[in-house]
């Protein structure tokens, strides 16, 4: 079902895009979200849709970081995953820094904090 309002910023009268959760940043299907959540996509305006992607990647990376530091299996324990995550975080931060309006979905400071934390982790060999 479509709604008339963007579920990020609440704007109306703008073409809305369906945002459905499919694969996460590391290419895995979402497991912590039930498939029924995926069948209930949300609708976002173009700007929020872009932010939503950033937010999703940020969350994925954050979750893997939490696993890594608590000694669980983590995508960040792989060299490839670690590098991709670092690059992506920098991208996200740059996009947030250059955008004129503050995203309602993701704060620049949160991204910066995670970047700093990731820097303190030894890169996997």
Contact residues: Zn ion, CB under 5 A: 6, 8-9, 11, 45, 48
Residue corresponding to tokens 């029924």: 36
Nearer to Zn ion, 45 or 111 (CB): 45
Q: CA–CA separation, 6 vs 51, rounded Å?
A: 12
Q: How far is the CB of 99 from Zn ion (least distance, A)?
A: 13
Nearer to Zn ion, 51 or 82 (CB): 51
Q: How far is the CB of 16 from Zn ion (least distance, A)?
A: 8
- The distance in angstroms from the start CA to the end CA of the chain is 47
The answer to whether 96 and 111 are in contact (CB under 8 A) is yes
CB count within 10 Å of CB 114 equals 18
Nearer to Zn ion, 52 or 62 (CB): 52
Q: How far is the CB of 49 from Zn ion (least distance, A)?
A: 8
CB count within 10 Å of CB 26 equals 18
Phi, psi of 98 (to 5 degrees): -95, -10
Q: How far is the CB of 73 from Zn ion (least distance, A)?
A: 36
Nearer to Zn ion, 49 or 74 (CB): 49
């Amino acid at each position: 079902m479509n709604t008339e309002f963007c579920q990020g910023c609440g704007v109306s009268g703008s073409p809305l895009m369906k945002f459905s959760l499919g694969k996460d940043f590391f290419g895995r299907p979402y497991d912590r979200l039930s498939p029924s959540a995926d069948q209930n996509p949300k609708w976002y305006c173009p700007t929020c849709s872009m932010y939503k992607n950033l937010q999703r990647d940020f969350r994925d990376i954050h979750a893997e970081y939490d696993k890594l530091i608590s000694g669980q299996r983590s995508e960040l324990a792989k060299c490839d995953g670690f590098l991709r995550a670092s690059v992506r975080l920098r991208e996200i931060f740059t996009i947030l820094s250059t955008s004129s309006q503050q995203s309602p979905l993701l704060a620049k400071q949160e991204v910066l904090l995670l970047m700093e934390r990731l820097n303190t982790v030894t890169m996997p060999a």
